[in-house]
Amino acid sequence: MLITCRIEKSLVTGLEQVARKEGMTKSEILRRALREFIDRRTGSLTPWELGKDLFGKAASGRSDLSTDRKRIFREIIHAKAKGRDRFGSPGRPV
């Protein structure tokens, strides 16, 4: 279905920039934005979906902490056992 909508030039410019950066079409971005807007208003999103962009990013800057926590923990333990911290610098003796 085709819908026509008038928007200001600054929104068009921002939409074009995001589309190029994300490698998406402008239509896909608009569909996703509209779907998210409607889902938020109708209560269709779970608490996880509402906050997923925020989880795991506060202190570490990493977005994979909740999904890869076991692998990351093993890497840290192995690095400490070799006398290195998780960044590859000499650590305290174990």
Whether 76 and 94 have beta carbons less than 8 Å apart is answered as no
Per-residue pLDDT averaged across 2-24, rounded? 94
pTM over 0.85: no
Give the pLDDT score at 40: 79
25: tokens are 């079409």
State phi, psi for 53 to the nearest 5 degrees.
-75, -15
The per-residue pLDDT for range 36-93, each reduced to its tens digit, is 888 878 877 788 777 777 775 566 666 777 778 888 888 888 888 877 555 556 555 5
Does the pLDDT at position 94 exceed 50?
Answer: no
For residue 20, give the amino acid letter: R
Tell me how far apart the alpha carbons of residues 39 and 37 are, in angstroms, rounded to a whole number: 6
In sequence order, the β-bridge partners of residue 9 are none
Q: How many CB atoms lie within 10 A of CB 55?
A: 12
